[in-house]
């Protein structure tokens, strides 16, 4: 399982990726297999899984984390410049608005991450010739959402952004 996680790496130059809101912390995965997808899904589920996931990143077993890694999953990290906008900072400090983005090299438009999603929107965005797709978790009362879009820089990659925490397994 941990060997799957080591496929991820953090790129400090990607904070200002125009495809992503600047407060996002992107991780890259050159090959995202099913196990890794599950791990991300677990991370989104609970605090315990979240801590477990963070430990995997921080452990010395894999050197995927930069020396000055100080990201917190609640969005309050000072490694991400949230600017002077306190209202925005507050907004992204809540668990409900917690976001997590990563990039995957894949031909597939839809990736199975273990959850069932209902598509509720599709939008062309100014910064990209590729559409952005909006999904919501199909589970009753679960407000987790995700966005999927092809990377502007390299259309071989898909950028997935999760928002919120699942209230179920």
Q: Where along the sequence are the contacts to DNA (CB under 7 A)?
A: 21, 87-88, 116-123, 125-127, 132, 134, 138, 145, 147
Minimum distance of DNA from residue 138's CB (angstroms)? 5
Residue (72 or 90) nearer to DNA, CB = 90
Minimum distance of DNA from residue 127's CB (angstroms)? 5
CA nearest 73: which of 103, 102, 43?
A: 43
Residue (4 or 133) nearer to DNA, CB = 133
- Residues 6+ positions from 131 with CB-CB distance below 8 Å: 122, 123, 124, 125, 149
Residue (1 or 108) nearer to DNA, CB = 108
Q: Is 15 left (phi over 0), alpha (psi -120 to 50) or beta?
A: alpha
Max Cα–Cα distance, the chain, nearest Å? 41
Count of alpha carbons within 13 angstroms of residue 129, beta-carbon side: 4
CA nearest 46: which of 95, 97, 90, 2?
A: 95
Minimum distance of DNA from residue 51's CB (angstroms)? 27
Distance, in Å, from the CA atom of 20 to the CA atom of 169, rounded to the nearest integer, reads 28
Minimum distance of DNA from residue 6's CB (angstroms)? 30
Residue (122 or 168) nearer to DNA, CB = 122
Instruction: Give the CA radius of gyration of the chain.
Output: 15
Residue (4 or 23) nearer to DNA, CB = 23
Minimum distance of DNA from residue 13's CB (angstroms)? 21
């Amino acid at each position: 399982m941990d060997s799957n996680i080591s496929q991820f790496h953090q790129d400090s130059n990607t904070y200002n990726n125009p495809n992503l809101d600047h407060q996002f912390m992107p991780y890259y995965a050159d090959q995202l297999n099913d196990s890794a997808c599950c791990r991300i899904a677990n991370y989104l589920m609970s605090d315990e899984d979240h801590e477990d996931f963070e430990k995997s990143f921080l452990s010395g077993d894999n050197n995927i984390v930069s020396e000055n890694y100080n990201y917190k999953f609640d969005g309050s990290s000072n490694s991400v410049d949230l600017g002077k906008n306190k209202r925005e900072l507050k907004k992204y400090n809540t668990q409900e608005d917690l976001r997590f983005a990563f990039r995957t090299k894949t031909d597939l438009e839809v990736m199975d991450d273990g959850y069932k999603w209902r598509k509720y929107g599709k939008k062309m965005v100014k910064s990209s010739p590729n559409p952005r797709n909006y999904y919501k978790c199909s589970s009753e009362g679960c407000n987790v959402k995700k966005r999927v879009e092809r990377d502007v820089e390299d259309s071989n990659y898909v950028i997935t952004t999760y928002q919120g925490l699942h209230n179920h397994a």
